[in-house]
Amino acid sequence: MTTAPHVTAAAPVPAQSTYQSRVAEYWNIEENPVNLELGKIDDLYHHHYGIGTADDSVLDEPDPTRRHERITAELHRLEQAQAELLAARLGPLSPTDRVFDAGCGRGGGSVVAHSRYGCQADGVTISAKQADFANTQARKRGIEDKVRYHHRNMLDTGLPTGAFAASWNNESTMYVELELLFAEHARLLRRGGRYVVITGCYNDAYGRASREVSLINAHYICDIHPRSAYFRAMARNRLVPVHVEDLTEAALPYWELRSKADGLVTGIEDTFLTAYKNGSFQYLLIAADRV
């Protein structure tokens, strides 16, 4: 009698919904200057927003070329500060630890975590183009043996169970069902591991999703969850919050500056500012322990 070989590895790109294919298409063709020009400064590519006080003097620069360069650098500095804030919550970690970057974009977050802790990182994105781009960057830095990017679905990664000391989502939870996402994080994290999310969420205390939240959903083809959904889905998936931080105020200077950055605006800036200011939308960091 012969037996069929036992195959355990997941397909490189597990079956994805039509919606997920549309999201992949969006990121495969995305080439916004606000993402590419900022990244070029130091080859750290972030597709998330910035936090902290902005140096508004960049707007007073008289020379147009220099003005553009200074605004670009300032927005990048604020995005980098956001990535550092998230990375700081992942630790302590050692070089033998592995971390998982869910919805990794062009890869900046994994490089930040690796630079800080020396740890190994696996990033996953539904966009093949982003995964290729990020792997090329890792090779250029000579860290491709430590930092790897995969074209996969973060809900079904095929990565090994319990192998990760920390994991995160940086502005990528609004593309997926939280129950499925947190089940995958809980599977990948070892007991005592740390999960961190930074996300825009709608404010339950406002009521339902506001007009602005709906416009943001339409702009990015996403589905912003209410704040309550995070805590409910975490509680059901062995993720126990240890730190919650409302970053809404800290996010405003970035959006104010970006709204004045000719050539870098994407058209969604005023909607974000209105949504944050009318209380319908919040920028939240949650750190949780995998128990």
What residues line the site for ligand SAH (CB under 6 A)?
A: 20, 23, 27, 46-48, 103-105, 108-109, 124-127, 130, 153-155, 170-172, 175-176
Residues 6+ apart with CB under 8 A from 68: 261, 262, 263
Q: How far apart are CA 149 and CA 120, in angstroms?
A: 11
- Are the C-beta atoms of 279 and 223 separated by less than 8 Å? no
Asked if 280 and 226 touch (Cβ cutoff 8 Å), the reply is no
Q: How far apart are CA 244 and CA 250, in angstroms?
A: 14
Tokens of 118: 């020396």
Q: How far is the CB of 102 from ligand SAH (least distance, A)?
A: 7
Q: How far is the CB of 57 from ligand SAH (least distance, A)?
A: 27
Min CB(198)–ligand SAH separation in Å: 8
Residue 17 beta carbon to ligand SAH: minimum distance, rounded to whole angstroms: 9
Q: Given the complex with ligand SAH, which of 67 and 187 has the nearer CB atom?
A: 187
| Burial class of residue 57 in the structure, from the number of CB atoms within 10 Å of its CB (0-12 exposed, 13-18 middle, 19+ buried) | exposed
Closer by beta carbon to ligand SAH, 6 or else 186: 186
State the nearest-atom distance from the C-beta of 184 to ligand SAH, in Å.
10
106 neighbors 47 (Cβ within 8 angstroms): yes
Closest separation in Å from C-beta 158 to ligand SAH: 12
d(CA 224, CA 251): 17
Nearer to ligand SAH, 109 or 253 (CB): 109
Q: Whole-number minimum distance, CB 82 to ligand SAH, in Å?
A: 8
Structure tokens of 207? Answer: 């009521």
Beta strands in the chain (DSSP E): 98-102, 120-125, 147-151, 164-170, 189-202, 239-246, 281-290
Residue with the closest Cβ to ligand SAH?
Answer: 105
**Residues with Cβ within 8 Å of residue 202, at least 6 apart in sequence:** 208, 209, 210, 213, 224, 225, 226, 227, 280, 281, 282
Task: Considering the complex, state which of residue 47 and residue 238 has its C-beta at the smaller distance from ligand SAH.
Answer: 47
Residue 36 or residue 205: which is nearer to ligand SAH going by CB?
Answer: 36
Which lies closer to ligand SAH via its Cβ, residue 5 or residue 281? 281
Structure tokens at 137: 């960057």
* Residue nearer to ligand SAH on the CB measure, 120 or 125: 125
- Of 18 and 57, which has the nearer Cβ to ligand SAH? 18
Task: Say if residues 181 and 102 touch (Cβ distance below 8 Å).
Answer: yes
Q: CB of residue 8 vs ligand SAH: minimum separation in angstroms?
A: 21
